[in-house]
Amino acid sequence: MSLPDSTHLPVVLDRLRRPLRDLRISVTDRCNFRCTYCMPAGVFGENYRFLPRKDVLRFEEIERLVQLIVKQGARKLRITGGEPLVRAELPTLLRALARIPNVEDLALTTNGYLLSEQAKDLKAAGLQRLTISLDSLDSDTFAKLNGRGYALQRVLQGIQSAENAGYRQIKINAVIQRGVNEPDVLALAEYFRGTGHILRFIEFMDVGTMNDWKPRDVVGGDEILHTLSEHWPLEPIDPNYRGEVATRYQYADGAGEIGLIRSVTAPFCGDCTRARLSADGRLVTCLFAQSGLDLKTPLRDGISDAKLEAMLRGFWSERHDRYSEERASLHEERLKSGRIEMFEIGG
């Protein structure tokens, strides 16, 4: 039985009538950092077994799956990891993804440590936007937070290289943890004011199962906003599109924009249009999901595009994730029970 070509089918909606608009593509589970809130060095030491190469999707497999997911409505692609810049030949994949019809946006999230060497080639391959994770401007705090004692300077040079390469937009993401890097709220704001880069503060989240998250360690978005407003008046600005994760503000003196990503204190599941493709080919419908749909096995078993599309539509249409909105009411065991680790599906 030949299944209909989904190009003519309506955009697939989940059970909360949310379309699939954003696809985050994890190209590797490996990372050169050991950030304490994602991949603590104590757990992910030298002997930790990451995915064997044979289990990682090949570029042509990623391209085929992305083409089919774009046919279901995805328009914004974000390359993630682990740390995507540790995957070899990444420009080859970017060129292929940039050619897919209806892809409106191609972005990448990185810790910036390898960016100086790669910023130009990634841009030439079609990458449009960059998000760089930077949690501290204090060398000691930065070295501690990345779990490897790596130097802050390399990341600042990476940001400079990205500027020189002329990316359409550069965002800086900082996860703020109580008692760890609160002073960086002002330091980062001071540093990026007037640069044109968009600084976003992310509330510390209970992603994965390893970061020993406690609600008391969360510095809420309102608290961050208050701290900043005491120094620089800020005005709220409208979201760019439905489902944008950050609430946006601009400095009244024209020094640019900041964002607050409040997954804990003001969850935004109602407009969540994000799916994630793990490096080993699982489609995951929530950052806090416990499992995903295995696409790699049927793909390597020779399944047809039409059957794969039917699987994708069926899986998304059954989706009803809203973990962050439910977090406060969830039982202890659900809060503790096995979640896919963030480095497997990208933040």
Among 73-81, 161-169, 212-220, 265-273, which window interacts with ligand SF4 (CB under 6 A)?
265-273
């962050």: which residue's tokens? 324
Q: Measured at the alpha carbon of residue 277, what is the angle toward residues 23 and 220, in degrees to the nearest 5?
A: 65
Cα distance between residue 309 and residue 292, in whole Å: 16
Pick the closer one to ligand SF4 by CB: 2 or 240: 240
């896919």: which residue's tokens? 340
Pick the closer one to ligand SF4 by CB: 146 or 273: 273
Interface residue with ligand SF4 among 95, 120, 322, 334 (CB under 6 A) is 322
Cα distance between residue 40 and residue 290, in whole Å: 20
> What is the Cα 287 distance to its own chain's centre?
9
Min. distance of Cβ 315 from ligand SF4 in angstroms?
A: 15
Min. distance of Cβ 271 from ligand SF4 in angstroms?
A: 8
Cα distance between residue 117 and residue 55, in whole Å: 27
In 3D space, the residue among 196, 287, 201 whose CA is nearest the CA of residue 247 turns out to be 201
Q: Judging by beta carbons within 10 Å of its beta carbon (0-12, 13-18, 19+), is residue 266 exposed, middle or buried?
A: middle
20 touches ligand SF4 by CB under 6 A? no
Tokens of 159: 């940001």
């704001």: which residue's tokens? 189
Cα distance between residue 116 and residue 165, in whole Å: 10
Pick the closer one to ligand SF4 by CB: 8 or 17: 17
| Cα dihedral across residues 98, 100, 102, 103: positive or negative | negative
Amino acid identity of residue 334, one-letter, is: R
Min. distance of Cβ 290 from ligand SF4 in angstroms?
A: 12
188 touches ligand SF4 by CB under 6 A? no
Min. distance of Cβ 286 from ligand SF4 in angstroms?
A: 3
Interface residue with ligand SF4 among 33, 44, 113, 268 (CB under 6 A) is 268
Min. distance of Cβ 80 from ligand SF4 in angstroms?
A: 13
206 touches ligand SF4 by CB under 6 A? no
In 3D space, the residue among 266, 102, 110, 253 whose CA is nearest the CA of residue 173 turns out to be 110
Tell me, by CB under 6 A, how many residues bind ligand SF4.
Answer: 11
269 touches ligand SF4 by CB under 6 A? yes
Min. distance of Cβ 154 from ligand SF4 in angstroms?
A: 30
288 touches ligand SF4 by CB under 6 A? yes
Among 34-42, 159-167, 208-216, 321-329, which window interacts with ligand SF4 (CB under 6 A)?
321-329
Pick the closer one to ligand SF4 by CB: 142 or 268: 268
The residue ranges that bind ligand SF4 (CB under 6 A) are 268-269, 272, 274, 286-288, 321-324
